[in-house]
Amino acid sequence: MARIVGGIGTSHIPAIGLAMARNQCAEPYWKPFFEAYAPVRGWLEEVRPTVAVVIYNDHGLNFFLDKMPTFAVGAAPEYQNADEGWGLPTLAPFSGDAEFSWHLIESLAAADFDLTTCQEMRVDHGFVVPLQLLWPGPGGCPVRTIPIHVNTVQHPLPSPARCLRFGEALGRAIESWSRDERVVVLGTGGLSHQLDGQRAGFINKPFDLFCLEKIVNEPDVLARLTIRELVEHAGTQGPELIQWLMMRGTLGPGVRQMQRNYHVPISNTGSGLLLLEKAA
By beta-carbon proximity to other proteins, the closer residue of 38 and 200 is: 200
Among 47, 48, 60, 254, binds other proteins (CB under 8 A): 60
CB of 58 to other proteins, least distance (A): 9
Cβ atoms 36, 8 nearer than 8 A? no
Q: How many residues belong to the site for other proteins (CB under 8 A)?
A: 38
Cβ atoms 190, 272 nearer than 8 A? yes
Decide if residue 228 touches other proteins (CB under 8 A).
yes
Query: Out of 103, 125, 149, 233, which one is annotated catalytic?
Result: 125
- Closest among 245, 246, 279 to 6, alpha carbons compared: 279
Half-sphere exposure of 249 (CA within 13 A, CB side): 27
Decide if residue 86 touches other proteins (CB under 8 A).
yes
Respond yes or no: is residue 263 known to be catalytic. no
Decide if residue 224 touches other proteins (CB under 8 A).
no
Binding span for other proteins by CB under 8 A among 78-86, 139-147, 175-183, 246-254: 78-86
**What's the alpha-carbon Rg for the chain, to the nearest Å?**
17
Query: Out of 12, 103, 149, 193, which one is annotated catalytic?
Result: 193
CB of 175 to other proteins, least distance (A): 34
Residue count (the chain): 280
CA 47 from chain centre, in angstroms, equals: 19
Q: What are phi and psi of 18, to 5 degrees?
A: -65, -40
Decide if residue 42 touches other proteins (CB under 8 A).
no
Respond yes or no: is residue 59 known to be catalytic. no
Decide if residue 205 touches other proteins (CB under 8 A).
yes
Between CA 78 and CA 24 the distance in angstroms is 30
Decide if residue 61 touches other proteins (CB under 8 A).
yes
Decide if residue 236 touches other proteins (CB under 8 A).
yes
Decide if residue 89 touches other proteins (CB under 8 A).
no
Decide if residue 70 touches other proteins (CB under 8 A).
no
Between CA 36 and CA 22 the distance in angstroms is 19
By beta-carbon proximity to other proteins, the closer residue of 170 and 227 is: 227
Site for other proteins, residues 109 to 148, rule: CB under 8 A: none
Residues interacting with other proteins, by CB under 8 A? 15, 59-61, 64-66, 82-87, 153-156, 194-203, 205, 228, 231-232, 235-236, 264-265, 267-268, 270
Give catalytic residues, as residue numbers: 125, 193
